Chains A and B, each alone.
Chain A
Amino acid sequence: MSVSWKKGSFAAVLAASTALTSATWAQDVKTITIATHYNEEQMAPLTECFRAYETGHPGIKIVFQQAAYGDFLQTILTSRVGGTSPDIYNIYSIWAPQLAAAGTLATPPAEIQDWIKGAYGAGTVGAATINGTLWGIPTELSVYDLIYNKKLLAAAGFNAPPKTWDELHDMAAKITKKNDQGVIETAGYVYGPTVSNAVHVFYSQMYAAGVSPYTEDGKGTNFTSPEAIKILERQAALFSDGITSNTNVVDDMAGGKAGMAIMANWNKSDFVSAFGDEFENTIGVAPVPNDGGAPGTMLYSFFWAVDSTSKAQAESWELLKWLDTPQDGKPLSCTGDMLNKLGALSGNISDLAAMDVKDSFTVPFVEAVQSGAAKSQPNTWQASENERTLRGYIEQVWAGTMSAPDAMAAADAEITAVLAEQP
């Protein structure tokens, strides 16, 4: 046997064995891709958990994909069309009806469903449920309450937040200050330019008035109810009485230029950055004002969902359960730890109990979740489109170009027609 033949044989055997090993490895290792709107820095605690999971499960490789919140739905669509869908998504609950109807989402196995129902609060499970079907594991909760600037209220002679909307109106009027050009420099109350700045506030006030924005079957609205009309007329009065304007927005709260606003708890980090050590002495939280009766407000949720075309569905659900269950005697689950570091709330009962939520800002939000006062944003058909439509009509009432009853009748007609499209 010549030397060159020997070398050739050795090379061939080496190449074949390498190829075989690679093929075997490729067969044994399953890659699970997780897409979220959180960036790498925010995801750091979870990424650490991914590596730990991979160590304990040698057959699993976890890849993280980030898509900006505004582009998240488009990213899902594009990846589906291109056949490169992630296995796991962290989705905003109102996107779920269309995604579920299109067969994009996989339903959790029965044992995972039982675990979710036991480990999560009823309100948050509702956020991941459409027409009685549970589609995923709730993650981040955002709850609305009245946020107020204690110092501005005190300077106007008030030492407690308003309990009713009439009180709010009077207090806001006293806080409002205009500059020499007649522009409101410090507003008593503020809204904002985004859809949620108007619509989520409106929904929160409807829940506080004891009325759900939508009918129970999700096919109609309660926008023409006397409560909804009254809420909108009172909002419009803030504009017509010069207490607020389009110039004055929710960002002014962190700038110390706004007295009150109905906002979500995730704004906490902005307030902490803006006010530093004075944060708790400056910012207060109270229930959404109503006309008496039980408190109420709105919450919305994100949830983990698994793609129906994923080749690793069982492994994905197993991974998600692991990520959402405390490991190695730690008080928080991996997801809970990440949310805690973000200053967000979790829908997981044990995570919520173990989270750092004892400060005066967070306690009212947690109470609203635990007491059941915070109701899930309804997962209605074409929710984003409907909310944009509703914002359009609410703005017309604020500007005085439409009366509240006319605007709500028009919104009801348009949105009911869209809701009727639901398969």
Chain B
Amino acid sequence: MSKRNRPRRASLIGWLGSKQVAPWIFLAPTLAFAVVFFLLPLVYAFYISFTKWDSLTPPKWVGLDNYKYILTVDPVFWKTFGNTLYFAFGSIALGVPLAVGLAYAFSKSRWQGLWRSIYWLPMITNVVAVAYIWYFVLDDRFGLMNRTLGLFGLGAPGWLTNPKIAMTSVILIFVWMQLGQNMLLFSAGLSDIDESYYEAARLDGASEGQVFFKITLPLLMPTTLFVLITNFIAGLSYFALMLALSDGTGGPMRSTTVTGLYMYQVAFSDLRIGRASAMAYVLAAVILVITLAQLRLFRRGGVEAY
């Protein structure tokens, strides 16, 4: 190497090690991963949503046709959309208060770790195994649930075969699955609340109910916001449990077909990748609107805490 090149190399190394460049070098692998596996698919799916594509032949530009069909013609899409909202709202309405209540109760009890571990178990169980177990528990004729009801002289609901209650059954199973995770998050939130607030309230003569509603719940708002947003996003795009519980059909009578499952059928069974991509974007738009509404709704005490 000539002596003249040495300063040039030294200045290159110095530039690479500078504060402006070095962080980007370290971030490069992660950024490249995000671009290849998140950004490019997102952009490509957006382009595909304006085409007719079966993945075997080149995509054909159709403009807004896919969106028009989904929003104005397809009789199934809106039904699945309703099912999706029912599932997302239902699992939150039932699951979140239950998780708060249990986390609060266990924060006052002995063997907290044991209780948390027990409630966490469904989270580490494979969803197919969960579906399989509940399939047998809720079987109309021979299931544990209906046999138990029979002992008390009660009727036998078609938990998974009656289209009017099948989705409610799915919600109950999902709440059972998710309870441990939400409870852990609320437990962490509860442990962050300074004990002095409780002591001051009790000194002022506040009852246990007042302490819970006036101190615990407001101070849990950041955790509640996080749980609500993540649960909503998960709920609106979730379909694994429905797929496993209904043999992949989303039945009976499409009562457990959520938009995610319908999208999967349209893409990989009907080979309408363009239409499925458009559905994905419609669903993403809905998730965005609901998330923004939640952020707005919980601005005080929630967003401001972050």
B57 CB contacts on chain A under 8 angstroms: 102-103
Query: B31-39, B172-180, B250-258: which lies at the A interface?
Result: B250-258
Q: Given A194-B247, A246-B158, A396-B253: A180 and B56 within 8 A (CB)?
A: no
B141 CB contacts on chain A under 8 angstroms: 179, 183-185, 247
Could you say which of A70, A181, A247 contacts B150, with CB atoms under 8 Å apart? A181
Could you say which of A73, A104, A246 contacts B252, with CB atoms under 8 Å apart? A246
With an 8 A cutoff between CB atoms, is B240 at the interface? Answer: no
Distance A74 CA – B56 CA, assembled complex (angstroms): 11
Query: B88-96, B100-108, B262-270: which lies at the A interface?
Result: B262-270
Minimum Cβ distance to chain A for residue B43 (Å): 18
Q: Are A382 and B56 neighbours in the complex by a CB distance under 8 Å?
A: no
Distance A195 CA – B248 CA, assembled complex (angstroms): 10
B265 CB contacts on chain A under 8 angstroms: 388
Q: Are A385 and B150 neighbours in the complex by a CB distance under 8 Å?
A: no
Q: Are A102 and B253 neighbours in the complex by a CB distance under 8 Å?
A: no
A399 CB contacts on chain B under 8 angstroms: 163, 252-253
B149 CB contacts on chain A under 8 angstroms: 181
A193 CB contacts on chain B under 8 angstroms: 246-247, 249, 251-252
Q: Are B251 and A382 neighbours in the complex by a CB distance under 8 Å?
A: no
B163 CB contacts on chain A under 8 angstroms: 399
Q: Are B269 and A180 neighbours in the complex by a CB distance under 8 Å?
A: no
With an 8 A cutoff between CB atoms, is B76 at the interface? Answer: yes
Using a Cβ–Cβ cut-off of 8 Å, how many residues does chain A contribute to the interface with B?
35
Residue of B54, B141, B149, B158 ringed by the most chain A CB atoms within 10 A: B141
* 1/0 contact string of B121-152 vs chain A (CB within 8 Å): 00000000000000000001100001001100
With an 8 A cutoff between CB atoms, is B184 at the interface? Answer: no
Distance A59 CA – B253 CA, assembled complex (angstroms): 54
**Which partner residue on chain B sits nearest A384 by CB separation?**
B269
With an 8 A cutoff between CB atoms, is B162 at the interface? Answer: yes
- Within B215-259, the residues touching A (CB, 8 Å) are 246-249, 251-254
* 1/0 contact string of B157-170 vs chain A (CB within 8 Å): 01001110000000
Minimum Cβ distance to chain A for residue B196 (Å): 56
Q: Are B76 and A104 neighbours in the complex by a CB distance under 8 Å?
A: no
Could you say which of B56, B140, B154 contacts A183, with CB atoms under 8 Å apart? B140
With an 8 A cutoff between CB atoms, is B113 at the interface? Answer: no
A70 CB contacts on chain B under 8 angstroms: 248
Interface of B is mostly: loop
**Which partner residue on chain B sits nearest A78 by CB separation?**
B55
A77 CB contacts on chain B under 8 angstroms: 55-56, 268, 271
Q: Are B158 and A247 neighbours in the complex by a CB distance under 8 Å?
A: yes
With an 8 A cutoff between CB atoms, is B156 at the interface? Answer: yes
A388 CB contacts on chain B under 8 angstroms: 265, 269-270
Q: Are A245 and B161 neighbours in the complex by a CB distance under 8 Å?
A: yes
A81 CB contacts on chain B under 8 angstroms: 55
With an 8 A cutoff between CB atoms, is B209 at the interface? Answer: no
With an 8 A cutoff between CB atoms, is A80 at the interface? Answer: yes
With an 8 A cutoff between CB atoms, is A227 at the interface? Answer: no
With an 8 A cutoff between CB atoms, is A121 at the interface? Answer: no
B268 CB contacts on chain A under 8 angstroms: 73-74, 77
With an 8 A cutoff between CB atoms, is A47 at the interface? Answer: no
With an 8 A cutoff between CB atoms, is B7 at the interface? Answer: no
With an 8 A cutoff between CB atoms, is B155 at the interface? Answer: yes
B254 CB contacts on chain A under 8 angstroms: 392, 395
Q: Are A384 and B161 neighbours in the complex by a CB distance under 8 Å?
A: no
Could you say which of A99, A103, A182, A395 contacts B251, with CB atoms under 8 Å apart? A395
Distance A80 CA – B271 CA, assembled complex (angstroms): 14
* 1/0 contact string of A245-283 vs chain B (CB within 8 Å): 111000000000000000000000000000000000000
B155 CB contacts on chain A under 8 angstroms: 181-182
Q: Are B253 and A80 neighbours in the complex by a CB distance under 8 Å?
A: no
Distance A382 CA – B270 CA, assembled complex (angstroms): 7
Q: Are B56 and A104 neighbours in the complex by a CB distance under 8 Å?
A: yes
B150 CB contacts on chain A under 8 angstroms: 180-181
Distance A247 CA – B56 CA, assembled complex (angstroms): 39
A396 CB contacts on chain B under 8 angstroms: 253
With an 8 A cutoff between CB atoms, is A98 at the interface? Answer: yes
**Can you offer 13 A-B residue contacts whose CB atoms are under 8 A?**
A77-B268, A102-B56, A179-B156, A181-B154, A181-B156, A183-B156, A185-B141, A247-B161, A384-B269, A385-B269, A385-B270, A395-B252, A414-B75
Q: Which 8 A-B pairs have the closest CB atoms?
A: A102-B56, A181-B156, A246-B161, A385-B270, A247-B140, A395-B253, A183-B156, A77-B55
The residues of A with any CB-CB pair to B shorter than 8 Å are 70, 73-74, 77, 80-81, 98-99, 102-104, 179-185, 193-195, 245-247, 382, 384-385, 388, 392, 395-396, 399, 401, 410, 414
Besides A102-B56, A194-B249, A385-B269, 19 other CB < 8 A contacts? Answer: A73-B271, A74-B268, A77-B56, A80-B55, A81-B55, A99-B56, A179-B156, A180-B150, A181-B150, A181-B154, A181-B156, A182-B156, A193-B249, A193-B252, A194-B247, A246-B252, A247-B158, A388-B270, A395-B251
